[in-house]
Amino acid sequence: MREAFFDRIAIRNCFNCRDHGLGEHEEPVFCKFRREGVASNEAAIGTTYKGFQNKSEAERADKANKDYQNRPGRPWTLNLDKL
């Protein structure tokens, strides 16, 4: 999906938004702008969607999300490298 997004195919998905974080359970995305969990297709109808400008920006966001999710002291950790 992300490759298609950067090939200029019009895809509005929360995972392609600069303000996405990793959510939990039924709401897989945490919207950092709205500060609430949402479904990944919320960007299709949402007004706060801000797509990545380039691949390196997307990679930095993914790394920050992985670092946050796997930080010490979490009640559980998720190994995102296996997803």
Whether 51 has a pLDDT exceeding 90, the answer reads yes
State pTM to two decimals.
0.70
Mean pLDDT of the chain: 82
In-domain check, residue 55: yes
Of residues 24 and 16, the one with the higher pLDDT is 16
Q: Confirm whether 79 is domain-assigned.
A: no
Q: For position 49, what pLDDT does the model report?
A: 92
pLDDT tops 70 at residue 9: yes
The stretch 55-81 carries a mean pLDDT of: 74
Q: Give how many domains the chain has, as a whole number.
A: 1
Give pairs for 5-14: CB < 8 Å, separation 24+. 5/51, 5/52, 6/52, 6/54, 6/55, 6/58, 12/43, 12/44, 12/49, 12/51, 13/40, 13/41, 13/43, 13/44, 14/38, 14/39, 14/40, 14/41, 14/42, 14/43, 14/46, 14/49
Is residue 45 in some structural domain? yes
Query: In this predicted model, which residue has the larger pLDDT, 20 or 1?
Result: 20
Residue 80 lies in a domain: no
Residue 24 lies in a domain: yes
